Amino acid sequence: MNMALLGVFIPTFFFVSITPGMCMTMAMSLGMSIGYRRTLWMMVGEMIGIGLVAVAAVLGIASVMLNYPWLFTILKSVGAAYLFYLGIKMWQSKGKLALSDGNNQIQVGHHWDLVIQGFVTAIANPKGWAFMISLLPPFIESSKPLAPQLTLLVAIILAFEFICMTIYALGGKGLKGLLGHSKNVRLMNRISGSLMMAVGLWLFLS
């Protein structure tokens, strides 16, 4: 993968990862209630799930690319439109992801319960699948071997997921106070939305 593609992928996925969603909210809540060390078990499960979703999305699209080039062109256009649509929706968001006292109660169990909880949260989210299918394939170069590219992309994804969940798990009350204000969440959404619209436009024109 060339540096130009990485230069687009890295900031886009970082801002998408850092935006407060279910996994980040769960990491923060668990970090505050049971501590960072135990929260790591949930993070392990979530990262395994995210990794599987990413690999499945890329392999599925790669198979289509090789066997049905015309269908891949259609899917690429649909994916571009979907990313642009997501970007618009994030811009229109009025801080709906802001955290409050009523939405951070997380069921806590044994270590393996936490692993399963993180794993299920990652793989059972249809929006996560749609996002991976739309975002990852444009960064795969068909003229180069798939395995090294996929390994690099998944490694970046997992690194960002770990870093962002760690920030939330260790941030505790400070992050809760920050994200309790819808205007702060709105700003994060607009940064992520702008990047997604840019990637969608780039994908459509490429």
Q: Kindly state the tokens that stand for 106.
A: 């997380």
pLDDT at 163: 94
Residue bearing tokens 């992928």:
9
Dihedral sign for Cα 181, 185, 188, 189, please.
negative
Name 109's Cβ contacts closer than 8 Å, sequence gap at least 6. 117
Dihedral sign for Cα 52, 44, 42, 154, please.
negative
**83 found inside a domain:** yes
Dihedral sign for Cα 84, 125, 60, 140, please.
positive
The DSSP H or E segment spanning 95 is none
Residue pLDDT, tens place only, 109-157: 578 888 998 898 888 777 678 778 777 777 777 778 888 888 998 999 9
Average pLDDT over residues 58-84: 76
pLDDT at 95: 56
**3 found inside a domain:** no
Spatial separation of the C-alpha atoms in residues 165 and 42, rounded to whole Å: 10
**59 found inside a domain:** yes
**Residues of the domain holding 128:** 42-205
3-state secondary structure the chain: CCHHHHHHHHHHHHHHHHCCCHHHHHHHHHHHHHCHHHHHHHHHHHHHHHHHHHHHHHHHHHHHHHHCHHHHHHHHHHHHHHHHHHHHHHHHCCCCCCCCHHHCCCCCCCHHHHHHHHHHHHHCCHHHHHHHHHHCHHHCCCCCCHHHHHHHHHHHHHHHHHHHHHHHHHHHHHHHHHHCCHHHHHHHHHHHHHHHHHHHHHHHHC
Q: What are residue 164's phi and psi, to 5 degrees?
A: -70, -40
Residue pLDDT, tens place only, 84-104: 887 787 787 765 544 444 444
**71 found inside a domain:** yes
**31 found inside a domain:** no
Residue 112 Cα distances to 8, 30, 105, 118, 187, angstroms: 36, 14, 19, 10, 36
**135 found inside a domain:** yes
**37 found inside a domain:** no
Domain count, the chain: 1
Residue pLDDT, tens place only, 163-194: 999 998 888 666 666 666 667 667 777 777 78
**159 found inside a domain:** yes
